[in-house]
Structure formats: structure tokens, C-alpha cells
Copies of this chain bind each other. A is one copy, B any other.
């Protein structure tokens, strides 16, 4: 947990006013910088102390065998793990002859600041060495959102009192020692010395190190270059070895004198290109950096972000805590994806090694909806990554005895890496989630090229999976048996409502795509019979409903299962449950790790009546414990929809604060991108009531009591839409083109530059505020 006073509440920044070594692990994640291609954990410049040293490149991974005590057919044989690559952010400082280390001497002042508009992490400290020498150090780092291969640091040391000899050692270090492994399955597998030195090169002010991974055989190049400025002579030395390269700057500063070094860091990696090609790529990036200069990079960074925030910001009036949190979340979601291009966006972005750096359905289900509305090219590229692994997904489907494509449950490079099939392979819904994102992207952008070149293939191949997986019973009802839905405390169940309805959407979307692109459909071998089979399956899909209780069943038979003894679990402090109860107990009980049926209510809302939604929310609220971070945002949206605005507010707060408060106690391993994205979802789709259905954008807003005003900005079909909601009114302003909205049951075309206003009707819930399992109610939202 991170106490509320650690980060002052400020609207556009996250600032740590004093260094807390007990929170070092968490702040390394919170202060991580990334452009989606390069990720730097917020490690201290001098490298130590650290909790988890981390420098990551999207897609760069090592392979390792997956062990099975009892092997089984179709089990993936190799896992993939994100690699802590060559650390380029390391800058050590010697003050006279003592290394700057915050654990020694006297740390007079230490502040770190993540600036959400500048896109930088700054540090400002004053330190007195054990021998009594006082220095002030200021550093600012950025990972460039405009230059994909670049990061940069400006590091300035000032002699506060008296003449001071300083030596600044700027390094590249490969194969950093990692913390020991853990038994918690959410934590990464430990890799020891994953990089093999290939070659080294150096110039006067920098070096380039090339390494290759042992098993996956990927080549990575890391290079640096420096510029410096000081009032007196600076002696520069360069020393390069296989696993490190050091550029040293030695000078003697007069009192008040400053040594300022700008470090440019460039990365490149490939599984295909040659060593010279990579070396040249890094060199070119460094040349570009020198041309831009630090100020140029800084300006470009701000310009990029100004543009982003214009079409992405969420303004929360009345709750500064949430205001900060939601922007923090949006910033990190952008960082996770901006320049990832056709690589996987991992569930932790590039902020930590958690979950081995794998991408899950989180990306399509939670992160992409935000990107589609705020930075659609990143969403497009993420889906193009799925397209790029289609052949692997096809092969996986064959292995599983299925047609079409079976996308991996967890992966970096496209191959299934899930070693526990009941919660991996069986969670086929990832395929429908991809189709869902494809459709959302198309609706929001009208990107016809994507639809024809990428979207239809993804829709058709996932549709094929579903018809081969499901079957019609003797009464013609279409079932999908023995699969796992979103809730990971259930598995191998029949007719999971979420999966069934999402599969049906997937099938219908595929059929429509074929109608839009008949030539491509023909190329893909789609026949009329096949389309008819898709339509038939979709129209006869089973949706288990408990007539007695008047609620939907998460899966067939679920509402007949034994109830969980939440009282005991709470009293004996057994959360998270998966560390205290076996799957065999969880799976047969009515206990939900995360929203499942309720996610169906959100994503497939048109398949349920308002009364069903109210009753279903009520039922599953009492049984959902949110041991997963993929739950609070969905509960926020559906609680808002059925009129529990206050409860929705609590859930929105939980989703938004997950990492700023370390609510799941594992922010150390990286940030929860889906939950951070979920905060946006909670505001925009929860309180804003935004929905997209069949390409129609609708809003049905309502605010909880604690908020005065909510404004959000998003991109739709190339234009900007600004939405402002108060308790009385909602206004919709369009910039850059007309947008057609669906408001209060009617279609409204809002022309460029115009605003329409609609009254907000106070929402009345059908049922009283539901209760949650003891101890598992979301914390009351932060009210000011």
C-alpha cells in the first residue's frame, strides 16, 4: 500500500516529496517512462538502491522451457519472458572520492516529479557526503514519444559549498543482477544473464553494446552519446567491455559551479536484421538526438502530449484525487502503447517484469477502447500485431483440433505461453475480445484500409474458431462447452454467457465484414454456407438464465453452486483467495475473482433488459471479490448504468488508484494498465454513459453526488468530441468535422464547431445499493 500523503494531490503531476526506500519498488513502477517501444523503470540515476532494475524493449524476450510434472498434449513447450536489457539510464556520481548513494551520508532533500504534460521524470536532491561535501543534483529523463529509439537524460551536479571534485560515470550495463524469484504466479520468472555479448564499439563520448539472447536468438543494440558543460576543465574517459561501457566526466567544481551532462540513449533490436544494421540504426538515432538536442527533444515531447491531451483529457471537478489519478492512468496507458507499433502491448506496459511481460486479453478488452478514443493509431498498430501473429494462432487452433485462429492467452511474440490450460487455452474468449476491439476501432475511425486489410481476416478467423468450438444440441440451441470466461475463479464451464454472447457478436461481425469486402472474403475462402453457419450459431446461442432467481447464470449451473463462506475468508484474512484456496474449491463455488457476467452486461448491453441488468448486477455484486484488477472498472460502469452511482464512484476510484495507492500490493512488478485504462472507462462509459453499438455513438450520462462536473475529450471519425456533464446538463461540442450522436433515443448530427445540450435526468436504481462480500466493498470514494 502507498499512503495517500506520499504523492501530493496535484492535477498534472505525480510528485514524491521525500524518498521512501520502503516504497522504492512501487515508485520505480509509478515513475516509469516509456514510449511503448523503450521502457525505463523509475530506478534512481545511480542504479542503487533498487528493487527491480528494469529497461525493457517491447517484444524483446528470452525463451525458456515450460516444465510440466505431468505433460499433456498441446501444452506449450516454451515460455517467453521479458528481458531486462542493457541499462542505459545509469549515471553514477563520485563526490570527491565517495559515491553518491542515498543510503549513506545525509540526504537533505529528495524530490521526484513525473510531469504528465511534459512527459518527463525529474529529480532534485541535495546530499551531503559522509565526508561532509554538499552537492545538489538535478536530473530529468524522458523516453521520446516522437523518436521511437531514443531516451535522454540531463544530469546536473552543483557544488553547493566549496570546491568539489566530481566524477560522473555514465554507463551502459548489460545482465544486471535480478531480485530472487518468488512463488507468486503473477511475478516474472527469473532470468540470469540472459544476454550474450556479440560486439562492442565506442567513440569519444559514448559506446554501443550488442548482445544476443541465448535461446530466442534476438539481437539488441544499446548505444549512448553525451554532451557536457562545466565551468572548469573536464577530463573525459571512455572504457568499454563486453557487458558494460563507461563514459566518465571528471572535473573540479568551484562552489556554485555545475557539471551538466546530457546523455542520449538509443536502442534497437531485431530477430532478423544483421549486427551492422542494428549498430547503424542505433548510431543514426544518436545522430538524430544530437541534432535535436535536449531542448529539441523536450519541446517535441510536450507538443506530442499537448496534442494527445486535447483529445484525451478527463476533467473531474470535485475530486482532485481522482483528477490526478485518471490523468496518471491515461499517461501510462499512452506510454504503454504510443510507439509499440506492431508488437504486443503487455499487461504491465513496459513498467515492470510482472506476468513475464506478457500481453493478455487486457489489451483488447481494456486498453484498446481507451486508445481507440484517444490515440487511435496505437490501437490500430496493436491490432496489426494480432494480425501479424495470425499464422501462429491458426497453427494453435489446428493443434487444438479447431478451425480458424486460436489466439494465445498470454504471449510476447505470438506463441501460447500459458502453462495452465484451464485458465489459459480454455479462455477462448480472448478471440472474441480481439474481434470486439477490431469492431470498436473500425466504428471509431472508419478506417476502411484496416477493415479490408486486417480487420476482416481477424474477424473471419476468430469466427471460424467459434463454429468449430461450439455445437448445436438436438433442439438446435448453440452451445460452447468446457471453456473459461473472464472470471478466473471459474473454469471449464459450459455456456459461459460472456463467451457465448461475445462469440455471437464475433460471428455476426465476421459476416458483416464479408458483406463489406466480398473479394477479400472470397480470398479467405468464406462461402455462403459458412456465413449461414455463423449466423445460425449467433442466432441460437445459449444464454443460461435461472428462472427461479430471475438472474443470468455466469455459466450453466452456476447459480446452483455452493455459496462461498465469505465471512470466514474475511475473518481469517485469506485474500487474495488464489493464494489460500485450491482451484478445485474455487471452481465449484459461487465466488468471482472478477466481473464476468457483469462484463457481458457492459459489452453486450443490448442483449439484456434494464431489469435484467439491475438484477444481475445485484446478484453478482454479492459474490465478486475483485482479486483481479480487471473488475472494478466494469463494476463501476454497470453500477452506474443501473443507478448505483455512488457505488460506481467507489469502483471508479479503486480502478484509478490501483497503482498510486498500490491497492493490489504488487505495483512493484509493474503498473496495471488495464485498471488504469479502466479508470477512463469508468468515467467515460460509466458516468458519461458512452456506448458504441453498430457504429452508433450514444451517451447517457449521470454523475455521482461527489462530483460537480465531468468533462472528457475524445476522437471520433477523425474529429474531436468534447463532452461536459453536470448534474443538470450534458453538452457535446464537436471540433474538426460533424459527428452523429445518438442521444435520448434519437439521432443527432452535430456539425463542426457546434454544441448540443441535453438535460441530465437523475438516475433511480431499481434495487437498493447492493452489498459486497464482507471486507470486499470498494473503499469509499475520496470526497473533498
Q: Are A582 and B68 in contact (CB under 8 A)?
A: no
A494 to B494, CA, bound (A): 11
A419: contacting residue among B68, B474, B584, CB under 8 A: B68
> At the interface, yes or no: A421 with Cβ under 8 Å from chain B?
yes
Give the residue name and chain of the B residue nearest to A420 (CB): B70
Q: Are B400 and A582 in contact (CB under 8 A)?
A: yes
1/0 per residue, CB under 8 A from B, across A585-617: the answer is 101100000000000000000000000000000
Q: Are A69 and B73 in contact (CB under 8 A)?
A: no
> At the interface, yes or no: A72 with Cβ under 8 Å from chain B?
yes
Q: Please give, as numbers and ranges, the residues of chain B lying within 8 Å of A70 by CB-CB distance.
A: 185, 418-420
> At the interface, yes or no: A307 with Cβ under 8 Å from chain B?
no
Cβ distance A533 to chain B, nearest Cβ, rounded Å: 15
> At the interface, yes or no: A425 with Cβ under 8 Å from chain B?
yes
Q: Are A588 and B481 in contact (CB under 8 A)?
A: yes
A368 to B83, CA, bound (A): 54
> At the interface, yes or no: A742 with Cβ under 8 Å from chain B?
no
Q: Are B583 and A421 in contact (CB under 8 A)?
A: yes
Cβ distance A395 to chain B, nearest Cβ, rounded Å: 14
Q: Please give, as numbers and ranges, the residues of chain B lying within 8 Å of A71 by CB-CB distance.
A: 183, 185
1/0 per residue, CB under 8 A from B, across A545-568: the answer is 000100000001100111000000
Q: Are A69 and B68 in contact (CB under 8 A)?
A: yes
A581 to B583, CA, bound (A): 23
A473: contacting residue among B74, B399, B418, B560, CB under 8 A: B560
> At the interface, yes or no: A79 with Cβ under 8 Å from chain B?
yes
> At the interface, yes or no: A537 with Cβ under 8 Å from chain B?
no
Q: Please give, as numbers and ranges, the residues of chain B lying within 8 Å of A202 by CB-CB distance.
A: none
> At the interface, yes or no: A255 with Cβ under 8 Å from chain B?
no
- CB contact list, A494-522 vs B, under 8 A: 494
> At the interface, yes or no: A719 with Cβ under 8 Å from chain B?
no
Tell whether A492 pairs with B400 under 8 Å between CB atoms, given A419-B68, A419-B70: no
> At the interface, yes or no: A426 with Cβ under 8 Å from chain B?
yes
Q: Are A582 and B482 in contact (CB under 8 A)?
A: no
> At the interface, yes or no: A272 with Cβ under 8 Å from chain B?
no
> At the interface, yes or no: A578 with Cβ under 8 Å from chain B?
yes
Tell whether A400 pairs with B585 under 8 Å between CB atoms, given A69-B419, A578-B73: yes
> At the interface, yes or no: A15 with Cβ under 8 Å from chain B?
no
Q: Are A401 and B581 in contact (CB under 8 A)?
A: yes
> At the interface, yes or no: A67 with Cβ under 8 Å from chain B?
yes
Cβ distance A67 to chain B, nearest Cβ, rounded Å: 4
Residue picked from A401, A420, A579, most chain B C-beta under 10 Å:
A401
Q: Are A481 and B185 in contact (CB under 8 A)?
A: no
Q: Are B426 and A584 in contact (CB under 8 A)?
A: yes
Cβ distance A496 to chain B, nearest Cβ, rounded Å: 12
> At the interface, yes or no: A580 with Cβ under 8 Å from chain B?
yes
A399: contacting residue among B66, B561, B582, CB under 8 A: B582
A70 to B76, CA, bound (A): 12
How many residues of A are in contact with the other chain, CB < 8 A?
49
Cβ distance A573 to chain B, nearest Cβ, rounded Å: 15
1/0 per residue, CB under 8 A from B, across A476-488: the answer is 0001011100000
> At the interface, yes or no: A256 with Cβ under 8 Å from chain B?
no
A73 to B580, CA, bound (A): 6
A491 to B481, CA, bound (A): 12
A557 to B555, CA, bound (A): 12
A482: contacting residue among B68, B402, B494, B588, CB under 8 A: B588
A1 to B561, CA, bound (A): 47
> At the interface, yes or no: A471 with Cβ under 8 Å from chain B?
yes
> At the interface, yes or no: A773 with Cβ under 8 Å from chain B?
no
Q: Are A584 and B69 in contact (CB under 8 A)?
A: no
> At the interface, yes or no: A422 with Cβ under 8 Å from chain B?
yes
Cβ distance A82 to chain B, nearest Cβ, rounded Å: 16
Q: Please give, as numbers and ranges, the residues of chain B lying within 8 Å of A420 by CB-CB distance.
A: 69-70, 72
Q: Please give, as numbers and ranges, the residues of chain B lying within 8 Å of A422 by CB-CB distance.
A: 422, 492
- CB contact list, A427-485 vs B, under 8 A: 471, 473-474, 479, 481-483
1/0 per residue, CB under 8 A from B, across A51-74: the answer is 000000000000000111111111
A401 to B79, CA, bound (A): 32
Q: Please give, as numbers and ranges, the residues of chain B lying within 8 Å of A401 by CB-CB distance.
A: 581-582, 585
Q: Are A492 and B492 in contact (CB under 8 A)?
A: yes
Q: Are A69 and B72 in contact (CB under 8 A)?
A: no
Q: Are A587 and B400 in contact (CB under 8 A)?
A: no
Give the residue name and chain of the B residue nearest to A493 (CB): B492
Q: Are A584 and B185 in contact (CB under 8 A)?
A: no
Tell whether A73 pairs with B482 under 8 Å between CB atoms, given A471-B562, A557-B556: no
Tell whether A479 pairs with B425 under 8 Å between CB atoms, given A71-B183, A491-B492, A582-B400: no
Residue picked from A79, A473, A481, A584, most chain B C-beta under 10 Å:
A584
Tell whether A561 pairs with B492 under 8 Å between CB atoms, given A183-B71, A580-B73: no
Cβ distance A564 to chain B, nearest Cβ, rounded Å: 10
Q: Please give, as numbers and ranges, the residues of chain B lying within 8 Å of A73 by CB-CB distance.
A: 578-583
Give the residue name and chain of the B residue nearest to A490 (CB): B482
A561: contacting residue among B74, B419, B481, CB under 8 A: B481
Cβ distance A399 to chain B, nearest Cβ, rounded Å: 7
Q: Are B588 and A425 in contact (CB under 8 A)?
A: no
Cβ distance A426 to chain B, nearest Cβ, rounded Å: 5
Cβ distance A154 to chain B, nearest Cβ, rounded Å: 43
A483 to B481, CA, bound (A): 16
Cβ distance A706 to chain B, nearest Cβ, rounded Å: 38
Give the residue name and chain of the B residue nearest to A76 (CB): B69
Give the residue name and chain of the B residue nearest to A406 (CB): B584
Q: Are A72 and B481 in contact (CB under 8 A)?
A: no
Tell whether A69 pairs with B79 under 8 Å between CB atoms, given A401-B582, A588-B481: yes
Cβ distance A513 to chain B, nearest Cβ, rounded Å: 27
Cβ distance A568 to chain B, nearest Cβ, rounded Å: 10
Q: Are B560 and A492 in contact (CB under 8 A)?
A: no
Other than the given A66-B69, A67-B68, 10 more pairs (CB < 8 A) read A71-B183, A72-B185, A72-B420, A73-B582, A74-B584, A402-B585, A422-B492, A426-B584, A479-B560, A481-B557
- Return 14 A-B CB contacts under 8 Å, by A number: A68-B419, A72-B583, A73-B578, A73-B581, A73-B583, A401-B582, A401-B585, A425-B584, A426-B584, A483-B588, A491-B492, A494-B557, A494-B588, A557-B557
Q: Please name the 6 residue pairs, one residue from A and one from B, whose CB atoms are nearest each other, closest first.
A: A482-B588, A69-B419, A67-B67, A74-B582, A471-B562, A481-B588
